[in-house]
Amino acid sequence: MTNQERMKLVEKAERLMDKHSMRKTPLKREIVCALMSEKGPLSQGELIQTLGTVFENVDRVSVYRNLNLLKAAGLVHEVDVNSYVCCSHECEAHPHLLFFCLKCHRHQEVKDHQKIDTLMSALGGFRFFGDNQPLFLRGICTSCAV
């Protein structure tokens, strides 16, 4: 990663944290940066390893606590047990809808707001989750189904 790419990443991470009114700490920023630069999900162990290239000492408990804060804010999604990704929306808070393949662990977040709105209104009174609680559709993706 070039310095410029790194700067852009940090800027984006800070913008996202501002948007979610989170206290910006170096650890939180680096967690978001690490997840943003990955295509696939990272486990806590992999995340700690990546953070080790930035910080001298990475405290496991702090990483866990910050991941939970980011998850509760809707900035990070846990697509599977111990599999974290960065949210792909940069807009105002709204329900998150994600597909997750149980075989190849690829995920896709629905980015079309109209589709999200349609689904949410279709659910109507059946909705029981809070706005930052993502809705997961887990299954086998089309590439894995063949």
User: Is residue 75 classed as helix, strand or coil in its secondary structure?
Assistant: coil
Cβ distance 86 to 75 under 8 Å? yes
54 binds Zn ion (CB under 5 A): no
How many CA atoms, within 13 angstroms, populate the side-chain half-sphere of residue 65? 7
Backbone angles phi, psi at 42, to 5 degrees: -115, 140
Q: Closer to Zn ion by CB, 37 or 105: give it.
A: 105
Give whichever of 29 and 77 is closer to Zn ion, judged by the CB atom.
77
The yes or no reply on residue 31 touching Zn ion (CB under 5 A) is: no
By the rule CB under 5 A, 29 interacts with Zn ion: no
> Residue 144 interacts with Zn ion (CB under 5 A)?
yes
- Note the helical H segments in the chain: 3-19, 26-36, 44-51, 60-73, 113-123, 142-145
Which of 6, 65, 103, 138 contacts Zn ion by CB under 5 A?
103
The least distance separating Zn ion from the CB of residue 60, rounded to whole angstroms, comes to 25
CA 20 to chain centre: 13
Does 91 participate in binding Zn ion (rule CB under 5 A)?
A: yes
Map the footprint of Zn ion across residues 56-85, applying CB under 5 A. Answer: none
Find the farthest-apart pair of alpha carbons in the chain and give their distance in angstroms, rounded: 50
Minimum CB distance to Zn ion, residue 63 (Å): 20
Q: Which residues bind to Zn ion, rule: CB under 5 A?
A: 87, 89, 91, 96, 101, 103-104, 141, 144
